[in-house]
Amino acid sequence: MNDFRVSVYHRPSAEDLPLAGAGFERATVRAHLDEADPRTLLMVLTHLTRDDSHLERFAAVCDPANAESGAEREAAEIRDLLADVLTSGVPRDASPLSEAFFRRTASVYVNEPVDEEFVPLLLDQCGFAKLEGTAAAPEPRPGADGFHVAVIGAGLSGICAGIKLGEAGYSYKIYDRNKDVGGTWLTNVYPGVGVDTPSHFYSYSFEVNPDWPEFYSKGEYVLDYLRSCADGYGVRDHVVFETEVVSCSYDDASKRWAVTSRGPDGVESVEWANAVVSAIGVFQGAVRPDIPGLDDFTGTVVHTADWDPSIDLAGKRVAIVGTGASAMQVGPAIVDDVAALTVFQRTPSWVMPRRKDDLTVPAGARWAMRHVPYYGEWFRFFTYWFASDGNFVRVVVDPDWHMPDVSVSKESEAMRQWLLAYAREELADRPDLLTKAIPDYPPFGKRILRDSNWYRMLKRDHVDLITDRITHVTPGAVVTKDGLETPADVLILATGYQVLPMMSQIAITGRDGTALADVWGHDDPRAHLGTTVPGFPNLFVLAGPNSAPNHGAGVNILAESQIHYVIACLDLLREQGAHALEPRQDVHDAYNEQVDKALEGRVWSHPSVRSYYRNSSGRVVVSCPWRLVDYWRMLRTPDPAEYIIG
């Protein structure tokens, strides 16, 4: 069995109480709780005491109408009662929560009903299901010995795959072309890089991190988290760095994969694996725009994906090409340093309102994350709930909707009006910018971006937003269709990443020498459940075709769900004494017909939307048409009837 720790981050439980020793006196504990979220403290109080009368008594703290004020007395009383529970002999219940109790408590927390169908997912993804009674070390599956898995990529998904394969007792090796673990969080180092999914959810459900410094943390902290998880579970010992997988070829006779990799010395070697897991993700390298004259520019040209930290922008005239996620982070991060900043926009993005100016996690809240049982798990639930399936209704097309050009339903229009109101508020004194900044497609048609002072940046005196098309670049300027020349010392290309063809950097051949590139073509990838492909036994694609949760949540829930399914498939092989598994062609085709039909009724197929979600024929190839809870449930257990097993 692989050597790994059960937990990297301490997760306090009822068994850790009462808090005692220096720094845990009641008065000190009570003072810390002043900076913790009262709604979450109410959940903890109810959880520890199993006294749901607290829910009715203090429900006011969970009412959004009282978010800023109006429930101070209730909040103070919650903190008083919880300080007693944490530091004294007040009875506490350490048994697992029942689903009914969790549902009732959670519904008060979010001030709306939590339907029964969501409860198993929430218990799993918010860390409750595995919290109490965790064994010292999981036992490996009998019969897993000798079954070797090759994992390609050591980012968030690859690390998770390694952890779970190790727990299951499977031998594995991870190949990564970089010098360290972390994937996109290792390679993306442009100014302002960070998460736009709440930090307290953007992590593994089995490793709830109490130490996020911000509610939306910068990339360096995400990288530190992933490194800690890789080290804590011994994953790093299974990674070969600076090694790129060149090809994977399935051998029908031995029912194994020949994995050819190229090391840092350029030498290629071949190793054998019983299964291959691709964890390289959707984004496969920077897209460099085809702008005439770009190569002749005499200043500095840098893509956000290939950022050089040594670049000095102080006092420089900087031009940013693009207004997507990376542009919206890098622009506000550099605006104070540059002499002039010009943003060249092709298509505006919808911008999610800033919740508050200061997104630092208060010291008392971080203390609660580290020391108060279940605080971290409950807060994780809260951040997930409002960034997940509640948004799904806003991406579903109402065929009878009377404003189909700008929105797709009543709920979609309400979202559009909310985003419009925010833009109008932020740009009230700049109507010229407002007309440029409002998209002409419905919300969620493309990724909605979190505001990191984007609108405020655009209003700065030394910032310009240009929407005319770039025609060419001269040695010292960017020229647009109207003939305007914008002098620049530095060009920042925030022009996104290559998505299609998927997995194009690896030559993958399955049964009978069939190439995956031929099956998928240039830009029409398909898979059963977004994970397995007919003719390619024991090949599993993480973040594969039509699996991205583009209406909410993050890649972390996708990774955990798909890896759970991968291991369940490997276990199915073991149970049947078989060696290879692949989806039946008819099952695969029927599933993809359902996907295509469902996507016709989703906002991503709206005629006004042009995005990386779609291929050259307009088919949506990235987005999953189902709710997160639906897709999570689909990936719980493989159906043997859907597979060829031998």
User: Looking at residue 1, what is its pLDDT?
Assistant: 34
Q: Rounded mean pLDDT of 120-144?
A: 65
62's CB contacts (< 8 A; 6+ apart) are 39, 42, 108, 109, 110, 111
Distance CA 423, CA 431 (A): 10
pLDDT of 560 higher than 50: yes
Domain with CATH 3.50.50.60 in the chain: 148-285+499-645, 294-350+396-493
| pLDDT tens track for 569-619 | 999 999 999 999 999 999 999 999 999 999 999 999 999 999 999 999 999
Length of the chain in residues, anyone?
Answer: 646
Q: Please answer whether residues 259 and 248 qualify as being in contact, where contact means their C-beta atoms are separated by less than 8 angstroms.
A: yes
Nearest to 413 by CA among 428, 398, 434, 435: 398
Nearest to 544 by CA among 534, 560, 533, 536: 533
Q: What is the mean pLDDT of the chain?
A: 94
User: What CATH code is assigned to 294-350+396-493?
Assistant: 3.50.50.60
Q: Give the confidence band of 146 by pLDDT, cuts at 50, 70, 90.
A: confident
pLDDT at 140: 54
138: confidence class by pLDDT, cuts 50, 70, 90: very low
What is the tens place of the pLDDT at every residue in 61-113?
999 888 666 699 999 999 999 999 999 977 778 888 899 999 999 999 999 99
Give the span between the Cα atoms of 633 and 370, in whole angstroms: 31
Q: How confident is the model at residue 510 (pLDDT cuts 50, 70, 90)?
A: very high
Residue 134's pLDDT band, with cuts at 50, 70 and 90, is: very low
Q: Which H or E run includes 317?
A: strand 317-321
Backbone angles phi, psi at 385, to 5 degrees: -60, -40
First to last CA, the chain: 26
* Nearest residue to 472 via CA among 483, 463, 459: 483
How do residues 342-399 score in pLDDT, each as one tens digit?
999 999 999 999 877 889 999 999 999 999 999 999 999 999 999 999 999 999 999 9
pLDDT at 136 over 60: no
Contact 237, 244 (CB under 8 A): no
- Please determine, for residue 281, whether its predicted confidence score (pLDDT) is greater than 80: yes
Check if CATH label 3.40.50.300 holds for domain 148-285+499-645: no
pLDDT, tens digit (0-9, with 9 covering 90-100), for 204-256: 999 999 999 999 999 999 999 999 999 999 999 999 999 999 999 999 999 99
Q: What is the pTM of this model?
A: 0.95
**Which stretches within 427-495 are classed as H helix?**
431-437, 454-458
With bands split at pLDDT 50, 70 and 90, how would you rate the model's confidence at 442?
very high
Q: Is the pLDDT of residue 567 over 70?
A: yes
User: How far apart are the C-alpha atoms of 18 and 407, rounded to whole Å?
Assistant: 53
Query: Does residue 137 carry a pLDDT above 70?
Result: no
Model confidence at 483, pLDDT cuts 50, 70, 90, reads: very high
Q: What CA–CA distance (Å, rounded) separates 196 from 203?
A: 13
Q: Which residues pair with 276 in a beta bridge?
A: 150, 539
Nearest to 177 by CA among 210, 203, 155, 209: 155
Q: What tens digit of pLDDT does each residue of 1-22 get?
A: 344 445 799 999 999 999 999 9
For residues 338 and 349, what is the distance between their CA atoms, to the nearest angstrom? 24
Tokens encoding 400: 């009878």
Tokens of 459: 């209003």
pLDDT in tens, 485-495: 999 999 999 99
pLDDT exceeding 90 applies to what percent of the chain? 90
